[in-house]
Amino acid sequence: MAIIYIKQTSCKKTKSKSASILAAEKALAQTLLRVGYKGGSKTANRSYKHDLGVVHSNVTSNKVPSNGAKKEVNTYTGNEIMGIVTTHKSNLMPVRRDNKQSAVDAASMRR
């Protein structure tokens, strides 16, 4: 049995760059030089970390700030609702102390 090796070749044609692309690349190169970009080779190991220098701070604080004034919490005192009644279809309704007629209506299945 014979082994046959097939060599694959690339058939891509290289295109020359247009004048507008060359002008855009030149403008980009000038902009990068102006902002201080120092390019390297594509194979170079680039570090994207910036050197900020050593930051010294002599003032420290052990105080933890709060997040503002405490929100007022509503608490139920237990004297507003007299009880809970069950009407048809297992509907639970609260009965208030100031409206005793609602308890009578719920007992007679009225709405």
* pLDDT tens track for 37-70: 877 655 555 555 566 666 666 666 777 777 777 7
- The answer on pLDDT for 23 being more than 90 is yes
29 sits in which H/E element = helix 19-35
The alpha carbon torsion through 97, 100, 104, 106 (nearest 10 deg) reads: -40
pLDDT band at 27 (very low <50, low <70, confident <90, very high): very high
Closest CA to 93 of 84, 102, 83: 84
**The pLDDT value given to residue 81:** 86
The pair phi, psi for residue 14, each rounded to 5°, is -85, 135
Please give the Cα distance from 103 to 89 (Å, whole number): 17
Say if CB 95 and CB 106 are below 8 A apart: yes
Return the SS3 of 87: strand
Say if CB 83 and CB 61 are below 8 A apart: no
Q: Which residue has the higher pLDDT, 5 or 25?
A: 25
**The pLDDT value given to residue 40:** 61
**The pLDDT value given to residue 82:** 87
Please give the Cα distance from 85 to 92 (Å, whole number): 6
- The answer on pLDDT for 17 being more than 60 is yes
